[in-house]
Amino acid sequence: MSKIVDLSVEIYHQMPCHRALVRPIITDLMTHEKSAADLLGTTEDRFTSAIEFLSMITHTGTHVDAPYHFGPGGETIENIPLDTFFGKAVCLDLTHIPDLGDIDVADLEAAEAKSGIKVDGHIVLLNTGLHNRHFPTDESMTRNPGLTAAATHWLADRGSKLHGVEGPSTDRPNFTEFPNHRVCRDRGITHVEWLCNLEQLVGIGEFQFFAVPLKIRHGSGSPVRAFAIIN
């Protein structure tokens, strides 16, 4: 029997957000109590409803980046083929990488060997333990490790169209060169940011990963409901 592992953080009012961005606003627009005054339904069976107002940037919570996020010539989210965002995957154990550390080629190669799966067109998820160390404090937004340019090329060279990390970015917040984002731009690949529960996928071998975006016109990214299916 298959097992589903939810890899998405919960979206809630004023949740932690990248320090350069605006925190989400979620509030009641309609409640069951308010709608009761409309006397909908029938006398014997009144109908009430609840509706929320949601205001958030496209890069809040668990989300994917569109190539347009990396550069003005990149494709926007609604035009990217959906099969970019799901497929065979492997989760690499990188819990030895400290906060604000670099994930380099040697780290990926060692973790690949330990996983028993040779990266060949796989979506690659990187478990660093950041989420369990820091979420839901604001440090979860300011302490993430980052992928080096060489490590990002390593993934692209092995046909990995998508990779995923914990935390708000694939690049560490104390380094202004954004090596991962720039290589993703140049190599035509992208990534999922702010995943959780990745420790449940370490050491299990290959699984199926899904992180399909909303169809946002001219979007630079989109929230996703990311999950894994383990057969």
At residue 18, the pLDDT reads: 84
Same domain, 204 and 178: yes
Using CA atoms, how far apart are residues 210 and 44, in angstroms rounded to an integer? 44
Same domain, 178 and 83: yes
At residue 8, the pLDDT reads: 98
Same domain, 43 and 67: no
Same domain, 143 and 109: yes
- Give every CB contact of residue 187 below 8 A, 6+ residues apart in sequence: 152, 153, 156
Residues facing 228 on adjacent strands? 5, 209
At residue 1, the pLDDT reads: 85
What is the three-class DSSP state of 202? coil
Using CA atoms, how far apart are residues 164 and 2, in angstroms rounded to an integer? 22
At residue 184, the pLDDT reads: 98
Of 170, 144, 167, 209, the closest CA to residue 69 belongs to 170
Same domain, 91 and 197: yes
Tracing tokens 């065979």 back to the chain, one arrives at: 88
The model's pLDDT over 3-55, given as tens digits with 9 standing for 90+, comes to 999 999 999 999 998 878 899 999 999 999 999 999 999 999 999 999 999 99
Same domain, 39 and 81: no
Domain of residue 32, residue span: 25-55
Same domain, 82 and 45: no
User: Which of the residues in the chain have pLDDT under 70?
Assistant: none
Output the DSSP codes for 64-86: EE-HHHH-TTSPPGGGS-GGGGE
Q: Is residue 91 part of a domain?
A: yes
Same domain, 180 and 77: yes
At residue 150, the pLDDT reads: 98
At residue 225, the pLDDT reads: 98
Q: Is residue 112 part of a domain?
A: yes
Q: Is residue 10 part of a domain?
A: no
Q: How many domains does the chain have?
A: 2
The pair of structure tokens assigned to 166 is 């914990």
Torsion sign (Cα): 168, 171, 172, 177: negative
CA distances from 68 to 64, 79, 157, 185 (A): 11, 11, 22, 8
Using CA atoms, how far apart are residues 185 and 47, in angstroms rounded to an integer? 50
